[in-house]
Structure 1
């Protein structure tokens, strides 16, 4: 494991692949960790790409430098973390591939930093123009029970009492059975022992539906830019599992007009909410094809 320090974080990350290969930032989702990308990263490395996989704020070895910093779990905050990491490493232009929270971060980085982001791939989450979280229809709302639970006044204390149990429910229900075993969940859940995992988790979801969650003021200008933007101006590939029981595949349909430099959507049969883990071969091939277009 490697690490860098930004103005806000000590970020743990892994790096692999040829040193002169095109750099690809791989961002994991929730509730998951950097290890989710290992199978895909190895395939990208074989194809000549250099992969960098950080633990997001609140996960694994990544730590806040100050106890006073707002534990802001927004996509905008995560986008700045991603850019900060790459700039500390002296990497000016790169591709971004993200799953779940990482997918939202990929869209956000493309909107905020198009001069640095060449192409993006987002897995499992559809683009949200202007960063708006709209109340979903009933069929999707019932799948978002975990977000409503976190938004209740008593929700945070219940999650603090058993954070890994809360995460395990999502693994058990967001994809067809058989995609993981207990040992893999336990290895991943070690990264949920981060002292800020619960705080970042709660802020990320509660801020969508409540007005009393704190935000880090250093990102206000970027929030304003997101709120005023409904297009992505870098080439985009969106990958979704047809059996995703967290985010309905229909959510990513009909969005082509929001992508000024191309939008391709791949829906994988028999796969749920965790495509990088459930179908690494298919996912890696699609990513390599997308990132290799001249």
Structure 2
């Protein structure tokens, strides 16, 4: 059974899709940019069939999730995403859920697992350790063949990029889906089911801030400064973790650390999957199996 509702969690009214048995072990599934909860439709069904309580929220700036106060900074920084997840777990009174995600969602899951390990029971992270080292990103450029893959980030550093995202949000997203998952043959209807989430009134502001903050081009929200300082120390993740490494992801090297043992003290498994940037939608059975293994 699927239930859709909105719940107040921190600075957000979070739009949530919930599947399965509320009395089962809880799992929170977190999407990335530029995707939404549709990425987890098949994964959620598989986990619900296995008796899990499955929570799939729309991140800030996506779908039906809204800020509760006009004055709140529309931050897309990693510390904000971490607090959103923690506040959601608290609001729903979840008992040490497994947290799983990719891209922005994986970053939120990694950050919560690192800073508040007592609040989760396990982690599934696509591409490994996703906590940003902003100082290193600013001082150590990547080789040119990798740097060219950052085009969308550099684009969003300019006001031209903001205007472009405002006007062509779906077209940019579809381009990134195609580039990042070259072996995934998604259809127009599949993309269209997600594209509506980009019409959120905060989408552009949150996305632009995310890609500017991570390069030190814009300040973060002062409300999350302490958390950002803690993440800057690159804390280890001590909860049981399964890392999914997509073999066909053209930006995987930009999002996670390949030296997984250096960041995870309880690394249960590293699983290479023949897919692109969006494993839960491309290979849902494998993604669900990783969660059930934990």
Matched positions, count? 288
* Alpha-carbon distance, 1:176 to partner: 2.2
Does structure 1 residue 97 correspond to structure 2 residue 103?
no
| Aligned twin of 2:237 | 232
| 1:198 aligned partner | 204
CA shift at 1:86, angstroms? 1.4
* Residues 178 and 85 of structure 1: CA distance in aligned 2, closer, same or farther (over 3 Å): closer
Q: For 1:147, what is the secondary structure of its paired residue?
A: helix
* Aligned pairs for 1:161-180 within 5 A: 161-180=167-186
Aligned to 1:72: 75
Question: After the TM superposition, which of the residue ranges 14-23 and 149-158 deviates more from structure 2?
Answer: 149-158
Is 1:115 paired with 2:121? Answer: no
Query: 1:242-271 deviations in whole A, cap 9, x for unaligned?
Result: 0111223995422202212225321112x1
d(CA) in 2 for partners of 1:25 and 1:240? 20
Q: What SS is found at the alignment partner of 2:214?
A: helix
Cα RMSD after superposing both structures: 1.9
The runs of 5 or more residues in structure 1 that have no matched partner are none
Q: Distance in 2 between matches of 1:139 and 1:264?
A: 30
Question: What is aligned with 1:219?
Answer: 224
Correspondence for 1:55 among 51, 54, 58: 58
Q: Does 1:287 align with 2:291?
A: yes
Q: TM-score, normalised by structure 2?
A: 0.92
TM-score by length of 1: 0.92
Aligned to 1:241: 246
Residues 129/259 of structure 1: CA separation in 2 closer, same or farther (3 Å cut):
farther
Shift of 1:174: 0.9
Is the 1:129–1:231 Cα contact (8 Å) retained in structure 2?
Answer: no
Supply the distance in 2 between the matched residues of 1:42 and 1:277 (Cα, whole angstroms).
Answer: 12
1:173-216: CA deviation from partner (whole Å, max 9, x where unpaired): 111244310011111000100000111111111111243x2422
Are 1:129 and 1:230, in contact at CA under 8 Å, matched by a contact in 2? Answer: no
